[in-house]
Structure 1
Amino acid sequence: MKLILAAVLARQFRSKSEAGDRLIDEYMKRTARYATCTSELFDSEAGLLTWLDRQAGRTPAYALLLDSRGQQYSSDEFAGQIGRLRDEGTQRLVLAIGPADGWSPAARQRADLLLSLGRMTLPHQLARVVLAEQVYRAFTILAGHPYHSGH
């Protein structure tokens, strides 16, 4: 399974947060022990959706969009969802953070799953860090690694 952490973030609003970028890179590097993991940034929702539909493979990319109206999971439940997708043969899992004003109805319709990190609104960079960490945590849970330890 290949994981793509995507975000819609106009260039003028992209932070030069070295700390946030270092954390995202660190969690992606850790996740790479279990699965290929890359990051993509898009200027617009339309750009992301076009890119998503052009992903080559036997099956369409599975689109997990972060949305405040999405389903909330515990870390264990999130790991279970990723494990099921992996075991069912999902080739590409795209986990995407949407534009500042939220996903359009068309994007929500395209989503295979809407996921909420919680009811609080997070800045994009922080949401990207939280998502990257939770993806890493999910794979450690699936592997029985002590990183999670049931907390």
Structure 2
Amino acid sequence: MKILLSAISASRPNARGSFAPLIEEYVKRSARYAQTSYRSFSLEADLLGFLQESATRTRPHLLLADSQGQQLSSPELAALLGQQFDAGTQTLIFAIGPADGWSAAARKRADKLVAFGRITLPHELAAVVAAEQLYRALTIRAGHPYHSGH
């Protein structure tokens, strides 16, 4: 399964500032367990278009980070990834939304809304949190001691 971490950033689609090394580090670590990458989109419509283009024998599984989403523990996120691996999902996309939130169309297309709690985070920091949680979930699945029940 391929995993794509993405963010919508209209003002700075390619800029990740001082958070870039952290995002890259967790993406690199995750790549030991699953093909993992990061991509920024200027507009939500660009992400939705990408979803259409990247559909292969299975449609990409879309997780949207949203404050109204379900709060998952790290083991629950690992179980969710496991379900997608087992279901034969080819691509899982975990997306950080635009500043004004996801549109009704994006919410309708999403397979799941996931929250990092009720707090609001800058896109770059949310991307770091998502990248670390994806890595943590993959290590939980692999039985790696990184998580160790914390």
Scaled by the length of structure 2, what TM-score is found? Answer: 0.96
| Cα deviations by residue, 1:71-128 (Å, 9 ceiling, x for unpaired) | 1100011111111111111100000011000001111001011111111000000000
Q: What residue is the counterpart of 1:115 in the other structure?
A: 114
Q: Which runs of 5+ in 1 are unaligned?
A: none
* Offset, 1:9: 0.3
* 1:72 paired to 2:77: no
Residue 127 of structure 2 corresponds to residue 128 of structure 1:
yes
Instruction: Give the corresponding residue for 2:148.
Output: 149
Please state how far the C-alpha of 1:53 moved relative to its aligned partner. 1.3
Q: Aligned residues: percent identity? A: 56
Rounded to whole Å, the distance in 2 between the matches of 1:41 and 1:11 is 11
| 1:21 matches 2:17 | no
> Where do 1:42-53 residues align within 5 Å?
42-53=41-52
1:89 pairs with 2:88: yes
Checking the alignment, whether the CA contact within 8 Å between 2:13 and 2:40 is kept in structure 1 is no
1:135 maps to a residue whose letter is: L
Identify the residue that residue 2 of structure 1 maps to in structure 2.
Answer: 2
Q: Which structure 2 residue ranges, 5 or more long, are not aligned? A: none
Alignment partners' CA distance in 2, 1:14 and 1:21: 10
* Alignment partner, residue 29 of structure 2: 30
Q: Shift of residue 148 of structure 1?
A: 0.2
Q: CA deviation at 1:15?
A: 4.4
1:138 match: 137
**What root-mean-square deviation, in Å, do the aligned CA atoms of Structure 1 and Structure 2 show?**
1.2
Deviation at 1:146, TM superposition (A): 0.4
Cα distance in 2 for residues equivalent to 1:12 and 1:111: 24
Q: 1:38–1:14: structure 2 CA closer, same or farther, 3 Å change rule?
A: closer
Q: Secondary structure at the match of 2:113?
A: strand
